[in-house]
């Protein structure tokens, strides 16, 4: 396994792969790797001869400095994790490598003012800026993204369609703990009690979804969601949206439930099939 920090060296190896006709799968991450990332990696191994993971905590996508500083970092563990998962290359650039002085940010123009975009202004501008850069550097055949970050997945779909038509986007289902919690790097920041409360909440959410008629109109379903969430605290959003265009149109059977919850300064997101 190679750990490469600079674009020049990265290109040397990637060009050698491309000369040999190997297909390359790429998984962008912010580190603190877990089995959710592992699932993306395994999918890439199935589809490609070479798999590359990038680890870059992109400050531009944190609209809150405290959140950036508190983001989990565990370098050594990440290297071991990648070794265990037979990664060919870890690309771990520094900020100067990704954002040279002349590099201009780009702006997201899709799925705006809803869900995470409403509560984290500028977040998706940071996401598309870094991905635009990373995709241009790596030029992989396929990129792997988790459904865990569903709005991000939708925005990346647009970015690829517009700027990287030769790169295929592969969505991967959310990996969950036995209790139903979506695996997330941020989960490591929860205390035992907070995790217990979160598991209980998640169970209640799943029961709530199961109790609804699948033919229910989303406007009606969201009235019920509003009622359900009244007894819980610290939510940015908790609502059903159409899974294909994130609108409020259609019925529950075409929707997912999206939520963002704060637990003592830690922001957790998930989306659940109905």
Identity of the residue, 124 or 228, whose beta carbon is nearer to ligand AMP in the bound complex: 124
Q: Enter the tokens of residue 29.
A: 């991450």
Residue 36 binding ligand AMP, by CB under 6 A:
yes
In the complex, what is the shortest distance from the CB of residue 211 to ligand AMP, in angstroms, rounded to a whole number?
A: 25
Q: How far apart are CA 177 and CA 17, in angstroms?
A: 36
Binding mask 164-193 for ligand AMP (x = CB under 6 A): --------x-xx------xxxx--------
**Residue 58 phi, psi dihedral angles, 5° rounding:** -85, 100
The answer to whether residue 11 is catalytic is no
In the complex, what is the shortest distance from the CB of residue 146 to ligand AMP, in angstroms, rounded to a whole number?
A: 2
Which of 37, 85, 123, 262 is catalytic? The answer is: 37
Locate all alpha helices (DSSP H) within the chain, ordered by sequence: 7-19, 35-47, 65-70, 75-84, 95-98, 115-119, 123-138, 150-163, 192-210, 218-229
How many amino acids of this chain bind ligand AMP (CB under 6 A)?
A: 17
**Pick from 111, 145, 228, 238: which binds ligand AMP (CB under 6 A)?**
145
Q: Can you tell me whether residue 55 is helix, strand or coil?
A: strand
In the complex, what is the shortest distance from the CB of residue 104 to ligand AMP, in angstroms, rounded to a whole number?
A: 22
In the complex, what is the shortest distance from the CB of residue 231 to ligand AMP, in angstroms, rounded to a whole number?
A: 26
Report yes or no: 152 and 68 within 8 Å, Cβ to Cβ: no
Of 30-38, 187-195, 214-222, 240-248, the segment contacting ligand AMP by CB under 6 A is 30-38
**Residue 199 phi, psi dihedral angles, 5° rounding:** -65, -40
Task: Restricting to residues 37-56, name those near ligand AMP by CB under 6 A.
Answer: 37, 39-40
Residue 127 binding ligand AMP, by CB under 6 A:
no
Buried residues in 44-80 as b, exposed as e (16+ CB within 10 A): beeebebbbbbbbbbebbbeeeeeeeebbeeeeebbe
Residue 116 binding ligand AMP, by CB under 6 A:
no
Sheet holding 168-172, edge to edge: 2-4, 89-91, 50-55, 24-29, 142-146, 168-172
In the complex, what is the shortest distance from the CB of residue 29 to ligand AMP, in angstroms, rounded to a whole number?
A: 4
Identity of the residue, 40 or 155, whose beta carbon is nearer to ligand AMP in the bound complex: 40
- Where along the sequence are the contacts to ligand AMP (CB under 6 A)? 29-30, 36-37, 39-40, 145-146, 148-149, 172, 174-175, 182-185
Q: Kindly list the catalytic residues.
A: 37
């Amino acid at each position: 396994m190679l750990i490469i920090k600079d674009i020049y060296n990265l290109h040397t190896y990637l060009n050698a792969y491309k000369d040999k006709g190997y297909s390359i799968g790429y998984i962008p991450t912010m580190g603190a790797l877990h089995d959710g990332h592992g699932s993306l990696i395994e999918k890439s191994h199935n589809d490609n001869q070479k798999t590359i993971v990038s680890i870059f905590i992109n400050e531009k996508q944190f609209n809150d400095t405290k959140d950036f500083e508190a983001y989990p970092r565990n370098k050594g563990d990440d290297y071991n994790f990648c070794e265990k998962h037979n990664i060919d290359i870890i690309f771990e650039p520094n900020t100067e490598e990704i954002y040279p002085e002349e590099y201009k940010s780009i702006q997201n123009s899709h799925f705006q003012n809803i869900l995470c975009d409403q509560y984290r202004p500028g977040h998706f501008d940071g996401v598309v800026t870094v991905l635009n850069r990373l995709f241009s550097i790596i030029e992989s055949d396929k990129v792997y993204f988790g459904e865990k970050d569903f709005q991000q997945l939708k925005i990346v779909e647009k970015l690829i369609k517009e700027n990287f038509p030769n790169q295929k986007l592969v969505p991967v289902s959310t990996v969950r703990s036995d209790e139903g919690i979506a695996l997330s790097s941020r989960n490591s920041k929860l205390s035992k009690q907070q995790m217990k409360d979160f598991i209980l909440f998640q169970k209640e959410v799943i029961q709530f979804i199961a109790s609804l008629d699948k033919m229910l109109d989303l406007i009606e379903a969201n009235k019920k969601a509003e009622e359900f969430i009244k007894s819980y605290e610290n939510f940015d959003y908790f609502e059903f949206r159409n899974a294909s265009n994130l609108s409020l149109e259609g019925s529950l059977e075409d929707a997912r439930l999206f939520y963002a919850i704060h637990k003592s300064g830690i922001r957790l997101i998930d989306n659940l099939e109905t």
